Amino acid sequence: MGTKGRDLALYLFFASAVVVVAGRLDGLHVMPFFCLNIITGTAVLYYYYYQSSARKWSRELGLKHVVLLPVHYRWAMAMISISGGKIAGRGRRAFEVHIDVPAGLSLHRFLKTLDGDLNLARIKLPDTLFFWETTAPIPSSIRGLIREKSKNGNAFWKPGGWAIPRFPFTGRNMKKGVLRRGAILIQKGEV
């Protein structure tokens, strides 16, 4: 599902809620929209359990500031393709990368920890597609890996966000000018 799946569910939830209320006031049959409202509302509530489980699993993996949110591989590829990206290879699984930045951490310390977390994820999870949307700086070792893998079509790093806009009041405010999206496929035997 990932955050974009949650955002899509939130859009559908509120749109269907408006249709249900307006339809009921007008005396129309709104049961399909009511069912859609129940389903999307349940999906949004499940997302918070799903996110906390991913955070716990990431800490057990040894990651300090990175949270790997498992998503369906086809969903990840759909997000990448509708946003103008392309990944040539195929992995077994996909993760949406999230960064938890604790308050008061210096930029140098943050980048050092982030570099360690991302390289640890790369080593422990081969044959995996990682994708993200961030305003945070990316460590130089990861930027170099992205440049290297983009030559054979297994990575990209582009300005802007994903095609599905962030739902209002969810997550951090992202500065539009520095928002970037990217993906990298780490294949088995490359580590």
Number of domains in the chain: 1
- Classify residue 149: in a domain, yes or no: yes
Range of the domain at 136: 2-186
Phi-psi region of 189 (alpha: psi -120 to 50; beta: other; left: phi over 0): left
Q: Cα–Cα distances in Å, from 188 out to 14, 156, 174?
A: 42, 19, 33
Does the CA dihedral 134-140-143-149 come out positive or negative?
negative
Whole-number pLDDT of residue 172: 59
Residue in 29, 43, 190 with CA at minimum distance from that of residue 123 = 190
- Classify residue 24: in a domain, yes or no: yes
Whole-number pLDDT of residue 101: 76
pLDDT by position in tens, the chain (length 191): 577 777 778 888 888 888 888 888 888 888 988 888 899 888 888 888 888 899 999 999 999 989 999 999 998 898 889 888 889 888 899 999 988 877 788 888 888 998 999 999 999 998 999 999 888 888 889 899 999 999 989 999 988 887 777 776 666 555 556 788 899 999 877 76
- Classify residue 95: in a domain, yes or no: yes
What does pTM read for this prediction?
Answer: 0.83
- Classify residue 191: in a domain, yes or no: no
Rg of the chain on CA atoms, in Å:
19
Cα dihedral: 70, 75, 76, 81 (round 10): -170
